[in-house]
Structure 1
Amino acid sequence: MLDDTVLADPAALATLDSGGVLRSAATAGAQVRSTASAAEEAGIAQLEGTRPRALVLVARPGTSASAATILAALLGPACPVPVVVSELVPTWIGALDVVVAHTCDGTDYELADSIDRATRRGAEVVLTAPTEGPVASAAAGRARLIEPRVPVPPGLDLPRALAAGISAFAHLGLLGADPGLGDELGPVADALDAEAERNQPGHEPFMNPAKSLALRLADRTPLLWGTDALAAGVAAHGVRALATHAGIVAHGASAADGVTATGLLRALAGAADVFHDPFADGADEASAPPPRVVLMATGEDDPVRELRRTGRDLPNPDVMHPVEEVARGTRHAALLRAALMASRLDVAAVYLGLATRTITPA
């Protein structure tokens, strides 16, 4: 059960978080900056002028899969080259292709075999991975290995994976000419630093968007639905974050897909009924917590309005659309909002994990 008093007590949080998980979650901006620096040292600028036959995003278990999904959505259907998301490097890989991969597991033998195959066939490989183990050995001297410089627990390394992918895309010319992003990825890191400041433990829940989100999702079944492809990718990451840090089962999808789940819609309607009595309806302690939908968006338009345009509506959805933090009209606003929302979901999941004692003291 959630002990909500913990979230309002920084001292209690510090005691429970003896392993420093919250501190690690606050390093998102530092991860982006250090990854940009490591990518430069790995020679990523040599990708300038390359127009690959195909761009392969390798989705391994955990945050690697989140990163591949988000990066593919960032490029979208307008990308001038084919984008392939795959668990392993495809057998057709060749010298005209570019591979982007991430892992926090240096002993992932399947990924090591894939990296070896890609490099033997002459493909350009951009890899973020620990510097020791079979994966690094397969990449040694043949791939652009970007080493992690800010250590974090498993599940909190998404900023590193996104930074490496975005840096590769920028040098490949897939994000357009934008000196504002550049090698330093400054706008992304700045947005994540500002989010970490808002979410610091000393802020009360009403001033802390991650704590507020954690309280809204507590004792609920979260339905994280994105009204655009990029937001849907972040929602899928939120599902992983809640499972990893808080032991919470959630549902993540595009809003268009979510509203086709008629059973969830009925449950939402029941949860929104002020006269609903779960005990009179025969519910017991083993019943699933009532659902709570969070509509997520990275675009300019209100996600509730976007949903209504499809002819659907939802009863009192929560909304995660950070237009106050990233103003409308900001260049690459969708990317900045996606990074910010992913970080907020990570921190909210950690707060829930601490308040429910799912994260145990070190």
Structure 2
Amino acid sequence: MEQTGGLQVTSGLVDFDDPGGLIAADLSGHLRSAALAGAQARAVASMVDEGVLASLEDLGPRAVVVVCGAGPAEAAAEFVEALTAGRLDVPFVRTTQLPPWVGALDVVVVCGFDAGDLILAQAVAVAARRGATVLVAVPLEGPVGEAAAGRAVSLAPRLHVPERFGFVGVAAALLAVVALLGRTRAADPRADVAGFLFALADRLDAEALRGHPDRELDGNPAKRLATRMIGRRIVFTADTVPGLAIAEHAATQALALGGQVAAVVGLTELQLAIPELVAAPVHGAVAAEPVDPLFHDPFIDAPPAQIPVRVLAVTDVSRQFDTATRLRAVGDVELLVIDEAGEGAPGPGESAAAENRTVGVDPIGDGGRAAGVRAEAAELLGLVVRCDLAMVYRRLSGEA
């Protein structure tokens, strides 16, 4: 695959600017599934609007315990935990099994995608028996459905998507629970939370539309991200803990969908590794031929060529210049930034305006803390949509 001017890219299978070819090559329907993040958030918003979580509005629990299955559910719980750290009035405990101290003073949220997971079913049954308020964000079938019957509030997904695209649905459910349990000065907390989730859904739909196969590479952030990963070793990083959770999700999707191995490290750790990255021999190779060590003499032959490293950094419009400065020595860095226009980083002097537009997605809330969590959630979950679509395009390129 060749890259001309950083944009025009074709592969051995499909052309990124050939919508018909992309859709025809997507035999598994991954493009459609990746675009359903907004619909998942809207389904959770509808549940809140209908009063499914009304029992939480006046509740002051001792702790919120999230028992999650492995995979995207655990990743989404990690994201919400990082996002609300230091901002939530209730302790947030993320675990893979129900702790022995859970009792009637606690709220237990069981989330996952496997209705036959006996660990999740046991967590539901035991928490309910101990008198805890139990919410189940798992398909209500099999052992989990039997354990939850008549004893738990259902947050079961109304929209079924492949598990690898379920990150946003679990994150939206947990954000709804956390928002209703957090202290609020809103007159109608249910309408406040539902309004935020509906706005979030619109935001995610807009990002999916920008990544639609019909949009050409020049104006398609997801396609551009896919092209930036071709012919490179990829390192994902982020300048915040919630951002790092999104980077980990992106790296997981790169492997699961595109077959590309990518590393994930924090920004501080990456800075410590800059001398090694800069000193590593590249020799201009983009796709180095494998070297048989049996016939390679390090004293006579040149060092074996290595595929160049590209750093993809998750950041915010207000922090992008600082992050770019910290990574300046790396050389090949791409900032993953969400803004209202969806065109990546704004120009000089536009940061404050872009940040205000982002915060504007938050409806009437309970002040700065809620607005901060919600604005950051909208930005980062938008990046989830972009990365999911990009990894699907990466898969369809035939370069995995």
* TM-score bin (small chain): 0.7 to 0.9
TM-score, normalised to structure 1's length? Answer: 0.87
Distance 1:40 1:354, change over 3 A: same
Q: Is the 8 A contact 2:67 2:123 kept in 1?
A: no
How far apart, CA to CA, are the structure 1 residues paired with 2:111 and 2:135? 8
1:87-98 to 2 correspondences below 5 Å: 87-98=96-107
CA shift, 1:153, in A, is 1.5
Is 2:203 the partner of 1:191?
A: yes
**Corresponding position of 1:317:** 333
**Corresponding position of 1:305:** 322
**Corresponding position of 2:308:** 290
Distance 1:256 1:273, change over 3 A: farther
**Corresponding position of 2:240:** 228
How far apart, CA to CA, are the structure 2 residues paired with 1:7 and 1:72? 36
Distance 1:291 1:56, change over 3 A: farther
**Corresponding position of 1:266:** 276
1:118-267 to 2 correspondences below 5 Å: 118-173=127-182, 177=186, 181-184=192-195, 185-260=197-272, 262=273, 266-267=276-277
How far apart, CA to CA, are the structure 1 residues paired with 2:391 and 2:287? 29
Secondary structure of the structure 2 residue equivalent to 1:183: helix
How far apart, CA to CA, are the structure 1 residues paired with 2:324 and 2:23? 40
**Corresponding position of 1:328:** 355
1:19-34 to 2 correspondences below 5 Å: 19-34=28-43
How far apart, CA to CA, are the structure 2 residues paired with 1:175 and 1:319? 35
How far apart, CA to CA, are the structure 2 residues paired with 1:222 and 1:175? 42
TM-score, normalised to structure 2's length? Answer: 0.79
**Corresponding position of 1:100:** 109
How far apart, CA to CA, are the structure 2 residues paired with 1:34 and 1:245? 25
**Corresponding position of 2:370:** none
CA shift, 1:207, in A, is 1.0
How far apart, CA to CA, are the structure 2 residues paired with 1:74 and 1:180? 22
**Corresponding position of 2:387:** 345
CA shift, 1:26, in A, is 0.8
Secondary structure of the structure 1 residue equivalent to 2:312: strand
CA shift, 1:181, in A, is 4.9
| 1:328 partner amino acid | E
CA shift, 1:216, in A, is 0.4
Distance 1:340 1:278, change over 3 A: same
Secondary structure of the structure 2 residue equivalent to 1:251: strand
Q: Is the 8 A contact 1:223 1:251 kept in 2?
A: yes
How far apart, CA to CA, are the structure 1 residues paired with 2:262 and 2:128? 38
Secondary structure of the structure 2 residue equivalent to 1:219: coil
| 1:171 partner amino acid | L
Q: Is the 8 A contact 1:94 1:122 kept in 2?
A: yes
Distance 1:316 1:196, change over 3 A: same
Q: Is the 8 A contact 1:42 1:145 kept in 2?
A: no
Q: Is the 8 A contact 2:51 2:190 kept in 1?
A: no
Q: Is the 8 A contact 2:134 2:153 kept in 1?
A: yes
Q: Is the 8 A contact 1:238 1:252 kept in 2?
A: no
Distance 1:275 1:24, change over 3 A: closer
Distance 1:104 1:174, change over 3 A: farther
How far apart, CA to CA, are the structure 1 residues paired with 2:102 and 2:328? 42
How far apart, CA to CA, are the structure 1 residues paired with 2:211 and 2:286? 34
| 2:386 partner amino acid | R
Distance 1:306 1:50, change over 3 A: farther
| 1:133 partner amino acid | G
Larger gyration radius, structure 1 or structure 2:
2
How far apart, CA to CA, are the structure 1 residues paired with 2:51 and 2:241? 31
Distance 1:3 1:204, change over 3 A: farther
Gaps of 5+ in 2: 2-10, 290-300, 343-353, 363-373
| 2:63 partner amino acid | A
Secondary structure of the structure 1 residue equivalent to 2:179: helix
CA shift, 1:4, in A, is 7.2
Gaps of 5+ in 1: none
How far apart, CA to CA, are the structure 2 residues paired with 1:245 and 1:346? 9
Secondary structure of the structure 1 residue equivalent to 2:332: coil
Aligned length: 351
**Corresponding position of 2:18:** 9
| 1:259 partner amino acid | Q
CA shift, 1:22, in A, is 0.5
How far apart, CA to CA, are the structure 2 residues paired with 1:77 and 1:26? 32
How far apart, CA to CA, are the structure 2 residues paired with 1:51 and 1:313? 49
Q: Is the 8 A contact 1:136 1:145 kept in 2?
A: no
CA shift, 1:267, in A, is 3.1
How far apart, CA to CA, are the structure 1 residues paired with 2:81 and 2:269? 18
Secondary structure of the structure 1 residue equivalent to 2:200: helix
| 2:212 partner amino acid | Q
